[in-house]
């Protein structure tokens, strides 16, 4: 797996990350969602540099220009709920992508233990496609891996890109063991630890709740 940590160089991305982490600014749900979306747009731009391109002739009113353009083989797959604004940001740039949506949530069996429940699953064929799998939080890595196991029934992508906002070191080690070699992780920033409930520390809290409100 190739790993790209986007805040390893300073850019305007740092401001968006600071705002989603800030316990005061993150209370504005619309700004929180928009910041996740803006980070999705930055990830889309960075990731676009590694896609396959083929030259196409574009006719202007005055002539023709040959322009290398990305192949139209992207499937953008997001994990509900928190993946929705990240999906929007990626789709703002990969606007002709096919789309897949999968739900995954943590079902607690005790205070500190949980399993991942995958229920809703809507995906096109992935055979020979460029799969971009988006989820803002990579904590234990179990949601991404459970969803990937389910996606295998829909075909074999030619390459896989994981788009995430905040990850933990432990989660990255876990997904490295479960995704194939032709996987690239694009992650805005990485934190050192998880707490005993599997939350990233300092992280930002519960991304799904911050986007859409708490659930029962
Ligand atoms: O790496 P993991 O330990 O699996 O944790 C990460 C998962 O947690 C969040 O979803 P959550 O289960 O909170 O669902 P939600 O988006 O509906 O809030 C997040 O969006 C990931 O899917
Ligand atoms: O820190 C975390 C871990 C899982 N899910 C979240 O939303 N936040
Ligand atoms: Mg949540």
| Predicted ipTM of the assembly | 0.97
C-alpha 48 – ligand 2 centre gap (Å)? 27
The token pair that represents 161 in the structure block: 């890109």
Q: Find the residues whose C-beta lies inside 6 A of ligand 1.
A: 79, 81-82, 104-106, 116, 135-143, 171, 198, 206-208
Q: Find the residues whose C-beta lies inside 6 A of ligand 2.
A: 82, 137, 139, 198-200, 203, 206-208
What residue ranges define each of the domains in the chain, with the CATH number in brackets? 2-212 (3.40.50.2020)
Atom of ligand 1 nearest to the CA of 80: 16
The token pair that represents 130 in the structure block: 């460029």
pLDDT per residue, tens digit, the chain (216 aa), is 999 999 999 999 999 999 999 999 999 999 999 999 999 999 999 999 999 999 999 999 999 999 999 999 999 999 999 999 999 999 999 999 999 999 988 888 888 888 888 889 999 999 999 999 999 999 999 999 999 999 999 999 999 999 999 999 999 999 999 999 999 999 999 999 999 999 999 999 999 999 999 988
Helix, strand, or coil (residue 19) = helix
Q: What is the pLDDT of residue 112?
A: 82
- 31 φ, ψ (degrees, to nearest 5): -70, -40
Compute the distance between CA of residue 83 and CA of residue 76 in angstroms, rounded to an integer. Answer: 11
Compute the distance between CA of residue 87 and CA of residue 101 in angstroms, rounded to an integer. Answer: 9
Q: What is the pLDDT of residue 111?
A: 82
Atom of ligand 2 nearest to the CA of 201: 1
Compute the distance between CA of residue 216 and CA of residue 214 in angstroms, rounded to an integer. Answer: 7
Q: What is the pLDDT of residue 163?
A: 98
C-alpha 212 – ligand 3 centre gap (Å)? 9
Q: What is the pLDDT of residue 105?
A: 87
- Give the residue from 138, 157, 144, 196 showing the smallest Cα distance to 74: 157
Q: What is the pLDDT of residue 113?
A: 87
Residues forming a β-bridge with 183: 160
C-alpha 104 – ligand 3 centre gap (Å)? 9
Q: Please give the biggest Cα pair distance in the chain.
A: 68
- Relative to the alpha carbon of 178, which ligand is closest? 1
Q: Which of 119, 137, 175 to mutate to test the pocket of ligand 1 (most atoms within 8 A of CB)?
A: 137
């Amino acid at each position: 797996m190739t790993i790209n940590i986007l805040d390893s160089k300073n850019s305007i991305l740092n401001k968006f990350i600071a705002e989603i982490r800030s316990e005061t600014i993150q209370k504005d749900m619309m700004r929180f969602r928009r910041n996740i979306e803006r980070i999705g747009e930055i990830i889309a731009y960075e990731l676009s540099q590694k896609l396959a391109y083929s030259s196409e002739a574009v006719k202007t009113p005055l002539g023709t220009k040959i322009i290398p353009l990305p192949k139209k083989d992207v499937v953008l797959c997001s994990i509900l709920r928190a993946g929705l604004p990240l999906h929007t940001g990626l789709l703002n740039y990969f606007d002709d992508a096919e789309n897949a949506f999968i739900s995954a949530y943590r079902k607690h069996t005790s205070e500190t233990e949980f399993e991942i429940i995958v229920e809703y699953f809507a995906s096109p064929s992935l055979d020979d496609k460029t799969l971009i799998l988006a989820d803002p939080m990579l904590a234990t890595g179990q949601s991404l891996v459970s969803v990937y196991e389910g996606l295998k029934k829909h075909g074999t992508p030619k390459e896989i890109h994981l788009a995430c906002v905040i990850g933990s070191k432990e989660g990255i080690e876990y997904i490295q063991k479960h995704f194939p070699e032709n996987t690239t992780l694009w992650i805005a920033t990485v934190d050192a630890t998880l707490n005993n409930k599997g939350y990233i520390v300092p992280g930002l809290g519960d991304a799904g709740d911050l986007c859409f409100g708490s659930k029962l």
